[in-house]
């Protein structure tokens, strides 16, 4: 079978899709890339939560799959929202790269003052863990953000460590500990989605990594129970069944955190419900301050 792989047009997105194409070629399946522009790529002057959150990077590719224009699509798994359209399935999850955040900076860290990020989670964790720093909005792909850093618009910017490693970019800075700066659910993971067609899912299952599928499944189970999407500062990370979940206030001053080992998705959902119940006031507060309704 010859597959048509859909991807966003950024350099990182193409690198990720090319990795999938190579893995498939090693198993005797050839593939071509098809570049598809998403709403998240065309609007970069406002915070992500103001244009629809995670799903803005995914919907156009889902539509292309369902319309038969492509066979599958490659995503940074953290961009895939909890609610998925009928007829689309996550057929393969690649072995995870680093889930950590990376603070890119050329100045000594103690002289850094202005840090760029559009993530409510990263903002809250910076304000909590790096006193004396200020956070300003920054969106765009990796190259765009690095260019703005080089232009001196920020003293530092936050990137996913996996992204710069995949792009073979050498950039000075500081790796942020995933225990302190708990990552977004599924950060560092590449996922392949396709039509729910046995011919496609069977082929793509050959590049699936079961251990990563379990850990990312745990994270998504907790995320689904907590709700709030990218509007709420929340970090959820699982490695070999060891789960850390936290919800923060937007200013990073308050938090709830649960850390324990889980052996099943059902156990993960129970943790997610506890985290949601304990963090309900913080979730509601974040939504009210961002002007977004919250009814859970």
pTM over 0.85: yes
d(CA 142, CA 140): 7
Residues 141/12, Cβ–Cβ less than 8 Å: yes
Question: Quick check: is 115 in a domain?
Answer: yes
Find the domain containing 170 and state its range: 101-176
Supply the pLDDT for residue 39.
Answer: 58
17-48 burial, b for 16+ CB within 10 Å, e for fewer? bbebbebbeeeebebebbebebebbeeeeebb
Are both 110 and 132 inside the same structural domain? yes
The answer to whether residue 47 scores a pLDDT higher than 60 is: no
Q: Which of 121, 90, 125 lies closest to 216, judged by CA?
A: 90
pLDDT tens per residue across span 250-271 = 999 999 999 999 999 999 999 9
Choosing from 79, 97, 101, 215, which is the catalytic residue? Answer: 79
Q: What is the CATH number of the domain that holds 280?
A: 3.30.160.40
Helix 11-25 and helix 142-150, axial crossing angle in degrees, nearest 10: 140
Are both 78 and 200 inside the same structural domain? yes
Are both 256 and 128 inside the same structural domain? no
150-174 burial, b for 16+ CB within 10 Å, e for fewer? eeeebbbbbbbbbbbebbeeebebe
Supply the pLDDT for residue 139.
Answer: 83
Are both 117 and 70 inside the same structural domain? no
Question: Quick check: is 185 in a domain?
Answer: no
Q: Which of 38, 32, 43 lies closest to 1, judged by CA?
A: 32
Number of domains in the chain: 3
Supply the pLDDT for residue 48.
Answer: 47
pLDDT tens per residue across span 116-168 = 999 999 999 999 999 999 999 998 889 999 999 999 999 999 999 999 999 99
d(CA 108, CA 177): 18
Supply the pLDDT for residue 211.
Answer: 98
Supply the pLDDT for residue 1.
Answer: 80
Question: Quick check: is 184 in a domain?
Answer: no
Torsion sign (Cα): 58, 60, 62, 68: negative
Confidence of residue 82 (pLDDT cuts 50, 70, 90): confident
User: Among the listed ranges 12-26, 35-49, 52-66, 194-208, which one has the minimum average pLDDT value?
Assistant: 35-49
Are both 281 and 134 inside the same structural domain? no
208 is catalytic: no
Are both 26 and 87 inside the same structural domain? yes
């Amino acid at each position: 079978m010859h597959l048509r792989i859909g991807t966003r047009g950024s350099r990182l997105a193409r690198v990720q899709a090319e990795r999938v194409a190579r893995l498939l070629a090693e198993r005797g399946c050839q593939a071509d890339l098809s570049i598809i522009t998403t709403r998240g790529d065309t609007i970069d002057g406002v915070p992500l939560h103001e244009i629809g959150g995670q799903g803005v990077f995914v919907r156009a590719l889902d539509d292309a799959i369902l319309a038969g224009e492509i066979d599958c699509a490659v995503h940074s798994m953290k961009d895939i929202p909890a609610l998925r359209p009928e007829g689309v399935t996550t057929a393969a999850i690649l072995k995870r790269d680093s889930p950590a955040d990376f603070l890119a900076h050329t100045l000594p860290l103690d002289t850094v003052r202005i840090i760029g990020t559009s993530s409510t989670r990263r903002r809250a964790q910076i304000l909590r863990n790096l006193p004396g720093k200020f956070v300003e909005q920054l969106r765009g792909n990796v190259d765009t953000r690095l260019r703005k850093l080089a232009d001196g618009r920020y003293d530092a910017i936050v990137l996913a460590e996996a992204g710069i490693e995949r792009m073979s970019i050498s950039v000075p800075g500081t790796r942020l500990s995933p225990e302190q700066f708990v990552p977004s659910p599924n950060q560092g993971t590449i996922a392949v989605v396709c039509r729910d067609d046995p011919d496609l899912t069977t082929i793509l299952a050959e590049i699936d990594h079961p251990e990563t599928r379990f850990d990312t499944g745990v994270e998504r189970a907790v995320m689904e129970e907590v709700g709030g999407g990218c509007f709420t500062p929340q970090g959820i990370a699982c490695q070999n069944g060891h789960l850390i979940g936290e919800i923060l206030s937007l200013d990073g001053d308050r938090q709830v955190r649960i850390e324990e080992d889980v052996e099943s998705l059902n156990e993960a959902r129970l943790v997610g419900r506890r985290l949601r119940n304990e963090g309900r006031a913080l979730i509601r507060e974040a939504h009210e301050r961002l002007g977004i309704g919250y009814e859970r």
